[in-house]
Amino acid sequence: MKVAIIGAGLAGLACAHELEKYGISPVIYERNGFIGETHAHVTASLDIVNRPIRDVVRYFKKKFDIDLKPSNTINRIIHYSPRKKRMIKGNFGYFFVRGKGEHSIKNQLYAQLNHTKVVFDHLADYEKLLKENDYVIAATGNSNFAEELGCFYEWVTTHLRGAVVLGDFDPNTLTAWINKEYCKSGYAYLTPIDKQRASLSLIVPEVIERDIEYYWERFLYAENINYTITEEFRWKHKTGYVYPNHIGNLYFAGKARGGIDPFLGFGQAKAVIEGVMAARAIVKGKDYGKLIKPNIKKNKNMYEFRKAYNHASNEDYDRLITFLSLPGIKQLIYYSPLNVVKTGGMLLGFMNRNRKSDR
């Protein structure tokens, strides 16, 4: 079986890893001359978002035989809303390194491939590859192909403005800010690379690209952040979904399929899962839609949450932060198997409806 994979990202590499188990040697086409991203940063993988998976590292090892070493565990989360600050401690998930380095999550996955060929510096086109292969996996990390084919349905577009900063950081702490004034219904967060470096990111939904600088400046000013900046980066995340999720022998996986959530922008675990499932679908002739149904459902729940959250005010953010750290609630959210996204979305929706009927 001849399989071409477009994109050496998490979905593409995970797909190749799974195909190799069935004796298939795919060819990955990667537009860059390297694996990873141009800038160093650290991503978070929160258990609360990955549920019902309890521990992604163990899950990937057990279910996919993929070994991923996080840079650190997340043991402390500091939440800031306009007028409140709350800190919670526990086991919340993992940090992973991104960038070009050998310890980056993509390079770790790449190192586990044995007979996959990667063609670097090659901007691939699915039409040409479909003629030469039995299957093509679009794992491009963007919706370009799906949009061209008229099967991408957009939910929300966000802009991310980030920087690598120097300071004094706790490698196990995730810090997050929410404030309508500088992130609208988005958020900002700091993830430590090590004790001296961290990535600081601001995510603002539904803004035009050049306005993100204005929000970034407001964020730094409002939170009195004056770290030394060593690298800067900007990113556009288009969220939505692709339907159908494969067109004949062209399969969409990871972010190219819509496998990134429309609220927090979490997509790395989903990308790995969808890469593996695309491989299983084509090798075993299984229904791809069914295999990735949990991802589709999670994203839909996140979208409902996002719609309800859009109506929240800064006062609601203060209330939310206080509520999240109440002892019983904290226990329920972080340590029980509760579907927080679904329940939270329903609660916010209920609050919004009540607020409207009070007027």
Ligand X SMILES: Cc1cc2nc3c(=O)[nH]c(=O)nc-3n(C[C@H](O)[C@H](O)[C@H](O)COP(=O)(O)OP(=O)(O)OC[C@H]3O[C@@H](n4cnc5c(N)ncnc54)[C@H](O)[C@@H]3O)c2cc1C
Instruction: Identify the residue among 255, 280, 298, 307 touching ligand X (CB under 6 A).
Output: 255
Q: How far is the CB of 100 from ligand X (least distance, A)?
A: 11
Query: Buried b / exposed e across 36-74, counting CB within 10 Å, b at 16+?
Result: bbebbbbbbbbbbbbeebeebbebbeeebebebebbbeb
Instruction: Identify the residue among 3, 4, 5, 7 touching ligand X (CB under 6 A).
Output: 7
Task: Confirm or reject binding of residue 10 to ligand X (CB under 6 A).
Answer: yes
Task: Confirm or reject binding of residue 278 to ligand X (CB under 6 A).
Answer: no
Residue 14, SS3?
A: helix
Instruction: Identify the residue among 71, 81, 107, 140 touching ligand X (CB under 6 A).
Output: 140
Q: How far is the CB of 53 from ligand X (least distance, A)?
A: 12
Which of 41/316 has CB closer to ligand X? Answer: 41
Tell which residue, 283, 235, 199, 330, has the closest CA to residue 19: 283
CA distance 29 to 136: 11
Which of 186/265 has CB closer to ligand X? Answer: 265
Task: Confirm or reject binding of residue 26 to ligand X (CB under 6 A).
Answer: no
Which of 270/307 has CB closer to ligand X? Answer: 270
How many angstroms separate the most distant Cα atoms in the chain?
A: 64
Give the list of residues 6+ apart from residue 22 with CB closer than 8 angstroms, or none: 279, 283
> Taking CB positions, which residue lies at the least distance from ligand X?
9
- Concatenating the DSSP letter of every residue in 315-329 gives HHHHHHHHHHTSHHH
Task: Confirm or reject binding of residue 298 to ligand X (CB under 6 A).
Answer: no
DSSP 8-state class, residue 312: -
CA distance 231 to 10: 23
Q: Which one of 2-10, 107-115, 303-311, 340-348 is the stretch in contact with ligand X (CB under 6 A)?
A: 2-10
CA distance 74 to 90: 8
Task: Confirm or reject binding of residue 160 to ligand X (CB under 6 A).
Answer: yes
- Concatenating the DSSP letter of every residue in 30-80 gives -SSSSSS-SS-EEEEEEHHHHTT-S-HHHHIIIII------SEEEEEEEEE
Q: Which helix (H) or strand (E) holds 202?
A: strand 197-205
Q: How far is the CB of 51 from ligand X (least distance, A)?
A: 14
Q: Which helix (H) or strand (E) holds 135?
A: strand 135-138
Task: Confirm or reject binding of residue 316 to ligand X (CB under 6 A).
Answer: no
Instruction: Identify the residue among 93, 171, 258, 267 touching ligand X (CB under 6 A).
Output: 267
Q: Which one of 67-75, 134-142, 215-223, 239-247 is the stretch in contact with ligand X (CB under 6 A)?
A: 134-142
Q: Which one of 83-91, 136-144, 223-231, 320-328 is the stretch in contact with ligand X (CB under 6 A)?
A: 136-144
Q: What is the dihedral of CA 116, 122, 123, 124, to 10 degrees?
A: -40
Q: How far is the CB of 327 from ligand X (least distance, A)?
A: 27
Cα within 13 Å of Cα(7), Cβ side:
28
Q: Which one of 41-49, 82-90, 150-158, 217-225 is the stretch in contact with ligand X (CB under 6 A)?
A: 41-49
Which of 161/307 has CB closer to ligand X? Answer: 161
Site for ligand X in 187-216 (CB under 6 A): none
Residue carrying the six token digits 């120097």: 166
Task: Confirm or reject binding of residue 306 to ligand X (CB under 6 A).
Answer: no
Q: How far is the CB of 167 from ligand X (least distance, A)?
A: 19
Instruction: Identify the residue among 30, 47, 304, 316 touching ligand X (CB under 6 A).
Output: 30
**Contact residues for ligand X, defined by CB under 6 A:** 6-12, 29-32, 41, 43-45, 123-124, 139-141, 160, 162, 235, 254-256, 260, 265-269, 271
